[in-house]
Amino acid sequence: MSKRVVILGAGFGGLELSTMLSEAMGDEVDVTLIDKNDSFVFGFSKLDVMFGRTTPDEVRMHYRDIAKPGVNFVQETVTAIDPEARRVTTDAGVHEADALVVALGADYDVDATPGLAEGGNEFYSVAGAERLAEIVPTFSSGHVVIGVADAPFKCPPAPSECALLLHDELTARGVREACDISFVLPLGTPVPPSPETSAALLEAFGARGIAFIGGRRVSSLDPARRVALLDDTPSGGTGGSELPYDLFLGVPKHRAPDVVIDSGMTENGYVPVDSATLQTRFPGVYAVGDVATAGVPKAGVFAEGAARVVARNLIAEWGDGDRPGPYDGRGSCYIEFGKGRVGRVDIDFLSGPSKTGVFNAPSTELVAEKDHFGSSRRARWFGT
């Protein structure tokens, strides 16, 4: 009888895991890949949508195009998870698993930042980016505040990219001198594991007149006064830092989906795992990607790497593969520096004695490399 693998979430982790299991075991494995959405979108494509480089329809990859031996995609919403029984309930039925992999990512908690929904805009969802694609081209004067509500958050370089691409957008329209840009980040530097990358971004901000405010998070917005309150503002008091804004572009607080929290798997909002194997405390249950606490950044490339470790362990357990080494926490993130150039930071979080990040300076060559990163995964996961 085929081994049953149920994968919750068809992002980087779920797509890579199902692909590897299919390649290695074919019809000898019964993979059910569950996602509430009908399509996948790369995180970096949201900025492309926001700044009018492309449209949402052009960046969506439809799950209906997945055609892999042993893999069945179902568009369903997970309503309950029983990790002890490895049983998942959805709005369409029940799925039993020999191995259960939770890869549902992190949800955006807009309501956790008072005033954000009423007085600001978020650019981390496709819907948010699509809305801003209509707003940004009409903005011609005033103060733009790009603010991160809390850490950790997905794709740590993305808010920096937003600031640099916004500078290019306003410059191209001839209105940059009439606009101010401030960037508020809970982290002390833009990319803490790589001082060289952070220095390059800070230099880019300085050259473009972008004010960087590190070590602060946006705790709330006051839509009536059009000000962002930072986390040094006393609760209910006065005298804390305030930033007036005309346009607020926010990164909401992240947390695990409610259904994961309700399952009893989480601690402090996320699922703890063994960083070497991605196993949870429940036998036969794994968690990969943004939903897990694995000691790595919340970014697609790290979810993909974690999924490879889980896949190799399952293949070794059920087939002829060798047991993999521990998850090394390595990954490369591309960073848009504007002016048609892309940089790259190569990060190693787990394989050595300390976290490291090697910076590759922005170039047009890395633009092509980033494009290949996307197209190669589109072909691998969707056959297109």
3-state SS assignment for residue 201: helix
Q: How does DSSP classify residue 33?
A: E
Residue 219 has which token pair?
């705790």
Q: Can you give the pLDDT at residue 214?
A: 95
Output the pTM of the full model: 0.94
How many Cβ atoms are within 10 Å of 320's Cβ, its own excluded? 8
pLDDT 10s digits, 134-175:
999 999 999 999 999 999 999 999 999 999 999 999 999 999
DSSP of 132-146: HHHHGGG--SEEEEE
- Spatial separation of the C-alpha atoms in residues 269 and 73, rounded to whole Å: 28
pLDDT 10s digits, 49-98:
999 999 999 999 999 999 999 999 999 999 999 999 999 999 999 999 99
All domains of the chain in start order, with CATH: 3-106+256-326 (3.50.50.60), 109-253 (3.50.50.60)
Exposure b/e, 251-289, CB count within 10 A at least 16 = b: bbbbbbbebbeebebbeebbbebebebbbbebebbbbbb
Question: Nearest 5°: phi and psi at 260?
Answer: -75, -45
Question: Which residues make beta-bridge pairs with 75?
Answer: 35
3-state SS assignment for residue 347: strand
pLDDT 10s digits, 249-273:
999 999 999 999 999 999 999 999 9
pLDDT 10s digits, 195-211:
999 999 999 999 999 99
- Mean residue pLDDT of the chain comes to 95
